[in-house]
Amino acid sequence: MLILSKAKLVSGSKRVSLIVGLAITWLLTIPAPAPAQKLRVGVAGSAPFAIEDGDEFKGISLDIWKEIAREQEFEYELIKKTTVLSGLNAVANDQLDLLIGPISITPQRLETMKIEFTQPIFFVEIGLVLPSRSPSLWSRVKPFFGIAALSSVFGLCFLLFVVGNLIWLVERHQNSQQFPAKYLSGVGNGIWLALVTLTTVGYGDRAPVTKGGRLIVGIWMLISLLTVSSITAGLASAITISLSELAASEQFASPADLQGAKIAVVSGTTSVEWGKYYQAQLLKTDTLKEALDLVISGQTQGAIFDRPALKYYLNQHPKLKLRLASFSLATETYGFVVPQNSYSLERSVNLVLLEMHQQQQIRAIADKWLKDSN
């Protein structure tokens, strides 16, 4: 009996050892959880969305991404891409996990490249930068010879002539001292009286003595009150509008004026597509600075690029003789870029982006950078 009990004990011990051994073997065969890999995040584009500051990057897009990474606890490394196009190609070829910057969301990019865009991060207008040269002497004088200005002056002179004649006709017999019978002298004095009445100067050297003369002058006073202000306003308006349309403004008053014009654009950006759309003669460059240099040197008549970037650049370089056109060429949206089938990453980024839009965080970030550029 004792021998049997010992045999059972030994058998049970072997069974336990076998079970423990199998468990250990099974645990060893399970692959250990892979450590979270750093996301390869490309940075491309221009200020104020992507700014290279030594070994660091900053800007609107960087601030937005840092908030996303903080919320989702992403580990990442930033990789500089020289152009937006090179960044897009890197994402399409699985060399990057994400591309951030001012990246325009376009159907062409979605159709031709293996990429996906996140929710929009920013809505932007496409702008046109023009040379800001000093107007010529003729440009300054020209407004005074416009149709509106000349017609107002002619109408005023005609009224003075008519009133002067009426006063002379009524006053020449009973008031010949002030309004002689001779036509030129008499009408001249009548026009003088009409003029001083119009301007409310009232020298008192001429005055009607007849009832008819006083009636005409009285009516003229009332007419002067009603017409002088409108004539003056018309002249001022015509001159102001004309003066504001000098030099470059005369050449580019609307997007349609781009047709046939020599325009600088940046390769790999949507500025190329909009230049083609408006049928401009395009001169492509690699950077925004190169495009603006072409405008400054007179090799092109203007440059197309994203309006916030143009505004930021001009504010950072106030001595450049360049200015933004008063109109925009189009409206686009910016988004971040991920490879196709990166559903998990795209969803995580979109969740935070939507929350940031709802809480006005993105607007606050953009306002801070754009305000600082003013």
In order of their start, the domains of the chain are 39-121+335-372 (3.40.190.10), 138-243 (1.10.287.70), 248-331 (3.40.190.10)
* Share of the chain residues as helix, strand and coil, in percent rounded to the nearest 5: 55, 15, 30
List the one residue out of 237, 240, 260, 155 whose CA is nearest residue 198: 155
The b-or-e profile of 315-329 (16+ CB within 10 A means b, else e) is eeeeebebbebeeeb
pLDDT at 152 (0 to 100): 72
DSSP state string for 197-235: HHTT---SS----SHHHHHHHHHHHHHHHHHHHHHHHHH
Q: What does the alpha-carbon distance between residue 208 and residue 167 come to, in Å, rounded to a whole number? A: 8
Q: What does the alpha-carbon distance between residue 275 and residue 261 come to, in Å, rounded to a whole number? A: 10
pLDDT at 7 (0 to 100): 40
Angle at 272 between CA 121 and CA 63, to 5 degrees: 25
pLDDT at 28 (0 to 100): 44
List the one residue out of 140, 90, 38, 109 whose CA is nearest residue 272: 109
| pLDDT per residue as tens, the chain (374 positions) | 434 344 443 444 455 454 445 444 443 454 433 335 899 999 999 999 999 998 899 999 999 999 999 999 999 999 999 999 999 999 999 999 999 999 999 999 999 999 999 999 999 999 999 998 655 566 566 666 667 667 777 877 888 899 889 988 888 888 888 888 888 888 888 888 888 887 777 666 778 888 888 888 888 888 777 766 666 666 676 666 555 545 444 578 899 999 999 999 999 999 999 999 999 999 999 999 999 999 999 999 999 999 999 999 999 999 999 999 999 999 999 999 999 999 999 999 999 999 999 999 999 999 999 875 55
pLDDT at 11 (0 to 100): 47
Q: What Å distances lie between residue 226 and 196, 198, 203, 237, 289, CA to CA?
A: 16, 11, 22, 17, 55
Helices 183-198/147-171 angle, 10° precision: 120
pLDDT at 6 (0 to 100): 40
pLDDT at 141 (0 to 100): 63
DSSP state string for 91-123: HHTTS-SEEESS-B--HHHHHHSSEEE-S--EE
- 3-class secondary structure, 317: coil
Q: What is the pTM of this model?
A: 0.61
Name the one residue in this structure whose structure tokens are 């002179």: 157
- 3-class secondary structure, 368: helix
List the one residue out of 110, 104, 66 whose CA is nearest residue 84: 104
Q: What does the alpha-carbon distance between residue 338 and residue 332 come to, in Å, rounded to a whole number? A: 19
pLDDT at 146 (0 to 100): 66
Residues 6+ apart with CB under 8 A from 268: 83, 84, 85, 86, 88
Name the one residue in this structure whose structure tokens are 């950006």: 269
**Reduced 3-state DSSP string for 15-81:** HHHHHHHHHHHHHHHCCCCCCCCCEEEEECCCCCCCEEECCEEECHHHHHHHHHHHHHCCCEEEEEC
281-285 and 262-266 strand pairing: parallel
Q: What does the alpha-carbon distance between residue 139 and residue 338 come to, in Å, rounded to a whole number? A: 52
Q: What does the alpha-carbon distance between residue 116 and residue 99 come to, in Å, rounded to a whole number? A: 10
pLDDT at 372 (0 to 100): 56
pLDDT at 247 (0 to 100): 45
281-285 and 76-80 strand pairing: unpaired
Strand partners, 265: 284
Q: What does the alpha-carbon distance between residue 46 and residue 305 come to, in Å, rounded to a whole number? A: 10
